[in-house]
Structure 1
Amino acid sequence: MAPMILENDVEVGESLPPATEHAVSVSLPTWRANVGYEEGEEWVISKMKTGYPRFFIHKQIQAFAATIAEQYGAKDEAAMLFPTHATASRGRDFVLRLAPDAQVRIVDLVPAADKEYSEESAIISPRISAVMYPKKHFSFAKQYWQHSGEGVSSRRAEYCHALFREGFLVESSTLAESKPQSPRLCKGPRRYQKKTSVDFDSMKDSTEGDVQDPVQFVEERFGRNLNLAMTKNAKLAIRRRIAGSLTADVGLTEALALDMETATTRNVPGFSEDDVYLYPTGMSSIFNTHRNVMQAKGPLKAIVFGFPYIDTLKITEKFGPGSVFYGFGAEEELDDLEKRLEGGERFMALFTEFPSNPLLRTPNLERIRQLADNYDFCVVVDESVGNFINVNVLPYADVVVSSLTKVFSGDSNVMGGGLILNPRTKSYPKLKEIWNKEYVDNHWAEDSIFLERNSRDFVSRIERIGVNAEAICDVLSAHPRVKQVNYPKTSPTRPNYEKCRNPKGNYGGLLSATFYERQDAVAFFDNLDTVKGPSLGTNFTLSSPYVILAHYGELDWCAKWGVEADLIRFSIGLEDTAKLVDTFKRALEAIPTKSS
């Protein structure tokens, strides 16, 4: 059979969407390309223009790190970039834990003193703290970068690199040594240099009329050094959306005018936007939750319930006393946990996803909450896949975390994380005290602008994506060569999902499938006319041999938990339903006919 001609056959290594400078996905269009990436094969690695930002350090960040290392490092040193001294200190400590004899230090780059510039920098915070470490320990520094999600964003690196080149970002000790000359005001990279007066009402028209080029949008609306009012308002609007205050598509002006006392779907008395926190990445919200809950509860083990996204488990294993892993997320495992608790074992928190990635199983939050209340541990729920339009998990959780990079944004061009504290749990007073002391908003201003803009039509996108995903679930489930389809609606754990499903909520846009034979999975994947790469929640359908990409070095371990190496994951997008159904049917037809 001749190979199918695919509309969405994006070249290996190209960003997704193509030609998007700050994209959070990358094209790995064939099964062989995914394996080649994991094996480090030159024909794949040499073409990588970008990658998922916690796994692939963006080239803008690489360039700035190389500049810093050249100016401040020894010849055997490299730099890993973080937004603050505190985040860099945690990275330094992690490297030293794995390499106690290494020379690891921090270089802090701060704005040169200028009164007018400093007023703006208080919110924009164009600072960089570089962890300088021996190049041979790159893998240790990269582990912290990946697991914590605390590294700088590519937009922050781009902006601050321009400041640094022009002398407006300087090593902090030089400010104490001598008073620098007052520099002319820096306009940052060229695309920020247009002086624009941005008033409040001018922001609301971007949802009307023609779709603008995103760089043009920022260029025309950012003004000098990132407009402060817009940055603050964008962050507030994002927090209000995370709070569940939006039940229709609204622009920035409308979002800021909402009455928060009556406009939240979270259904928890006393809850407000003051209990919502913004983080640079979803994993940063999980990492900081683990760190802060450990401070509240003491150095106890955590519980990870259900097969999770890879870094959640790694955080609980590598930072603190470790964790107990219940990889099936089954009732029998809750029975075992209850026996442990009755026997005197104590834990700091239980981490779970609702539903899980990639098996789309849903935990019994009602029972977990009862155990938490009886035995005094926190419940941390990751709602990234379910999302708060479809489900309301806050009544059962102490902390709700989410990756805003995914469907909340949809455009695959910005990172972000959200976190909510539940004011009705007995742990809340202590947790709130710690967050008030520890929290720093490290979400880069320009990223916040993009995230707010992308999320304005979040509500309507969720509805359409859900319809498409159910249609694809039906197509895959009906095919005799498909072994299993994983989707909340068809899962044996559906009753747990229904307990939290909102009246108008659906079952989300993520599903996965396995085949009886690897050759069937490969043939289907290679002939599936969607773009293919890491991440999920994109406005376009995105497919991936997920287990190969996320767990290539531990496939046997995954199999023990019922996660097959050949599983294919689908993040369903906004395409026309009939066309999308046809796309999947044609890929299924491409599976070779079995000889009798």
Structure 2
Amino acid sequence: MKRDYIFYPINCGETLPQNNIHAVSCSMPTLKDVIDYEEQKEEILKKITVAYPRFIIHPYLKELSNYLKKKYKVSNDYELILLSSKKAVDVVSNFYYIHNAFQFKEDFGVIKVLKGRQYQKVLKFIQYVGYNLSSRLAEDYLYKIGLIENLQDEELEKKKYAQDIIISTLANAYKEQKENICLAPSGMNAIYSILKALKNIQARNGKSILIQFGWLYLDTTNIVSNYFEESKVFYDVTNLDILEEFLKNNQNRTLAIITEVPTNPLVKTANLKRLRELCDTYNIVLVIDSTFATPYNLDLKPYADIFVESLTKFACGNADVLMGAIILNSKFNISHIKNEFFKHCDTPYIKDMQRMALEIKDYKKRVKKISQNTKELIDFLPTLPYISKIYSSLDKENFENYKNLMFDENSLCGIISIYIENDFEKIYNALNFAKGPSLGTEFTLLMPYTYLAHYDLINSKKGREFLEKIELPINLIRISVGVEDINEIKKEFLRVKSNLN
């Protein structure tokens, strides 16, 4: 039977992409699903077994952990946490003063922690620093010892070419030398590695303040709070006057500024020319998370000392590889200390690189198609009466800063956020796009951003007041625009419009 629409409901807990055990997203088709997940309701936790690997332990990692507990005769008073390397074990052990006498003879990291509070604290810390063990590594291990019967059916690049394909693609995109690029097992591990390096540099030169410019991704903020005694947050990236006043009053104390271009989820862009001038004036390192921009939409080369990108997003496009990258900008002569920034990263698992190498070949083509669809969707969405406000690259108050960075008129960030004042739950539930965490996918992907990212703030008066202060609406849907036929995307929004009448 032929469907009238290409979009259809996806059951709660199904992987996104579907039927992929290495998916980094999962379907949460109703607002109740999201709330139940945030409140850790037992019924929904049974459904959601595969999701973003830094937030939910992958079933293969759970199975491997149980196997290793038996193999090494670990007491039931303890849980095993699996990490990307032995280096990662040292990072976690030193932070929490965990010193296991027992040595696990594995090629990856294994740490033994007490059940209960310590276990939960360590899991949360690993979420921040991104030293996650690859689900593909766990899959290979379990398959080799006969605990699973099949491997995921997926196409992979040849091992000997994989890493070079990824790095060469990024080098061409960022117009940078390959030796100034380092891969990491996640975007957060890349950010952690940069911030850890800056912390070490701080110890040598006496500068103590790290500035977060804009409302940054939550786990970036958490890393900053763990590693910097002195940090300052400026929530509004469009107001550099306040930042400049602070820098004047804190000369020789500010080490670095970290910002996202554009910001998540309101897609705001700072005046990078002026920001760069401030960094030069006060000798400050500027770190830019370029995940939303991508190196194919915006020319950020004249501004950042260091780029960090979550390759899990647009570079992958299929939401089935967790990986990040650090790109040092040779223009600003920071590469002479590149080892300081690279040494904290772990090398991604080879099969993750094989998969990424295959997907990153279409990076530029994918971004250009997404940008084209985004432009048409921005023009279309104001015709829908149920949308109260739209946040995009083309916002009037934002566009001048964004326009100055564009390679051409079609270089639009593939993220649009929409505020729905009335009937939010009804509209979110009715839309049949894929709905779940993450972004940058070839399939259009929706997320009720504030509910999934900041549910704790929604649930308190103080939290809601803070959301108002930073102008982050509760009833917000972040749209990661896909490469589907734009008319089909519009048709789905129109279908919901007709059902509301």
TM-score, normalised relative to structure 2: 0.91
Superposed displacement of residue 190, structure 1: 6.8
Letter in 1 for 2:208: L
Matches within 5 A, 1:80-99: 80-96=81-97
Matches within 5 A, 1:55-454: 55-70=55-70, 71-96=72-97, 104-105=99-100, 109-110=104-105, 127-136=107-116, 137-162=118-143, 165=145, 215=153, 217-218=155-156, 230-245=158-173, 266=175, 271-298=176-203, 300-331=208-239, 334-345=240-251, 346-429=253-336, 431-435=337-341, 438=343, 441-454=346-359
CA contact (8 A) 2:13 2:27 kept: yes
CA contact (8 A) 1:394 1:422 kept: yes
Distance 1:300 1:157 in 2: 40
Distance 1:406 1:106 in 2: 39
Letter in 1 for 2:100: R
Superposed displacement of residue 30, structure 1: 0.8
Superposed displacement of residue 482, structure 1: 1.8
Pick closer, same or farther for the CA change 1:468–1:356 going to 2, 3 Å: same
**Secondary structure, in 3 states, of the residue corresponding to 2:211?**
strand
CA contact (8 A) 1:109 1:128 kept: no
Distance 2:54 2:317 in 1: 18
Distance 1:106 1:139 in 2: 21
Letter in 2 for 1:129: G
CA contact (8 A) 1:406 1:538 kept: yes
Letter in 1 for 2:244: E
CA contact (8 A) 1:389 1:505 kept: no
Q: Does 1:587 align with 2:496?
A: yes
Superposed displacement of residue 503, structure 1: 3.1
Distance 2:407 2:356 in 1: 24
Letter in 2 for 1:144: F
**Secondary structure, in 3 states, of the residue corresponding to 1:81?**
strand
Superposed displacement of residue 66, structure 1: 2.2
Superposed displacement of residue 51, structure 1: 0.9
Superposed displacement of residue 494, structure 1: 1.4
**Secondary structure, in 3 states, of the residue corresponding to 1:388?**
helix
CA contact (8 A) 1:16 1:24 kept: yes
Superposed structure 1 runs of 4+ greater than 4 Å apart: 4-7, 106-111, 188-192
CA contact (8 A) 1:303 1:323 kept: yes
State the Cα deviation string for residues 109-159 of structure 1 (Å, max 9, x = none): 446xxxxxxxxxxxxxxx111111111122211111211111111112222
Letter in 1 for 2:414: G
Pick closer, same or farther for the CA change 1:13–1:491 going to 2, 3 Å: farther
Letter in 1 for 2:435: K
Task: Please name the residue that 2:461 is paired with.
Answer: none
Pick closer, same or farther for the CA change 1:565–1:72 going to 2, 3 Å: farther
Distance 2:101 2:479 in 1: 41
CA contact (8 A) 1:107 1:129 kept: no
Superposed displacement of residue 231, structure 1: 2.5
Superposed displacement of residue 273, structure 1: 1.1
The one of 423, 443, 451 aligned to 1:540: 443
CA contact (8 A) 2:30 2:428 kept: yes
Superposed displacement of residue 491, structure 1: 4.8
Superposed displacement of residue 461, structure 1: 1.3
**Secondary structure, in 3 states, of the residue corresponding to 1:481?**
coil
State the Cα deviation string for residues 49-84 of structure 1 (Å, max 9, x = none): 311111111111111122223435322111111122
Letter in 2 for 1:158: E
Distance 1:498 1:216 in 2: 39
**Secondary structure, in 3 states, of the residue corresponding to 1:500?**
coil
Pick closer, same or farther for the CA change 1:60–1:107 going to 2, 3 Å: farther
Moved more, 494-503 or 447-456: 494-503
CA contact (8 A) 2:190 2:345 kept: no
Pick closer, same or farther for the CA change 1:491–1:355 going to 2, 3 Å: farther
What are structure 1's unaligned runs of at least 5 residues? 97-102, 112-126, 167-187, 193-213, 222-229, 246-264
CA contact (8 A) 2:84 2:346 kept: no
Higher relative contact order (CA closer than 8 Å, sequence separation 6+): 2
Task: Please name the residue that 2:481 is paired with.
Answer: 572
- Equivalenced residues, count: 486
Superposed displacement of residue 107, structure 1: 5.6
Superposed displacement of residue 278, structure 1: 0.7
Superposed displacement of residue 476, structure 1: 2.1
Superposed displacement of residue 426, structure 1: 4.7
Superposed displacement of residue 583, structure 1: 0.7
Superposed displacement of residue 162, structure 1: 4.8
TM-score, normalised relative to structure 1: 0.77
State the Cα deviation string for residues 332-358 of structure 1 (Å, max 9, x = none): xx2222222212352221111110110
Letter in 2 for 1:80: I
CA contact (8 A) 2:6 2:488 kept: no
Letter in 2 for 1:511: I
Letter in 1 for 2:266: L
Pick closer, same or farther for the CA change 1:279–1:107 going to 2, 3 Å: farther
Letter in 1 for 2:436: G
Letter in 2 for 1:18: Q
Letter in 2 for 1:570: I
Distance 1:516 1:6 in 2: 27
**Secondary structure, in 3 states, of the residue corresponding to 2:322?**
coil
CA contact (8 A) 1:307 1:327 kept: yes
Matches within 5 A, 1:498-517: 498-503=403-408, 506-517=411-422
Identity in percent: 27
Superposed displacement of residue 487, structure 1: 0.5
State the Cα deviation string for residues 371-416 of structure 1 (Å, max 9, x = none): 1111122111011111011112132111100010011111111111
Superposed displacement of residue 509, structure 1: 1.4
Pick closer, same or farther for the CA change 1:110–1:104 going to 2, 3 Å: closer
Pick closer, same or farther for the CA change 1:274–1:399 going to 2, 3 Å: same
